Amino acid sequence: MNAREEILARLCASRDPSASLPDLWPPAAAPGDPIALFVERATAVGVQVMKDTAQTWVASAVSELRTRSIRAAALWDDPLLSPLAAALESSGIEVISPARHSFDRLAEVAAGITTADAAIALTGTLLLPCDARRPRSTSLLPPLHMAVLPANRIVPTLGHLFQELSRPLPSALTFITGPSRTADIELTPVMGAHGPTEVIVYLVRD
């Protein structure tokens, strides 16, 4: 047995096999309506939450982009976004596929549009599964991130989310709680240093 194996053996021998993970989701942690709590907490961290329906969210998103005079938007390859892609093209807004364009091209686009596989009510957090069709760069490089969130995907807490995650997992899971912000330098708040300066969530109810 070499030194490395000896160290690992000692660590394994000292581990308490009965030790369990802490309770991350006590029942009282997220009382009330998860949807209302998500709206409250997401708004508190700077997210614009647009309450829409399956019939209205596409028009709402197109209107937002046109109001901002945005000429191109990056969209994930997701069936939920197909109606939006068609509406954008009809409105003269170029649809960029992140999977087929370079980071440099995405950095030039004013808006990145994704779906959210889930959201955590307690913290107002979005969960984005990332893979080749749904690259993380879409929510990271453009200054505006727009996320489409069906209301039935909201869970009360992080623990509930872990219980519901499907297998196999994608190559990465991105958790987003509000726009990018930092105060690393002299405690001076700076928006957009490591990601978008704005996040808009289209909360879609049936």
pTM over 0.85: no
Which of 89-93, 95-99, 111-115, 147-151 shows the lowest per-residue confidence on average (mean pLDDT)?
95-99
Structure confidence at residue 31 (pLDDT): 64
| Model confidence band, residue 25 (pLDDT cutoffs 50, 70, 90) | low
| Model confidence band, residue 143 (pLDDT cutoffs 50, 70, 90) | very high
Which CA distances in Å does 161 have to 126, 131, 140, 164?
11, 19, 22, 5
CA-CA-CA-CA dihedral for 34, 40, 41, 43, to nearest 10: 140
Q: What are phi and psi of 90, to 5 degrees?
A: -65, -25
Q: At what angle do helices 57-67 and 82-90 cross, to 10 degrees?
A: 40
Query: Residue ranges per domain, the chain?
Result: 32-181+194-205
CATH code at 32-181+194-205: 3.40.50.10420
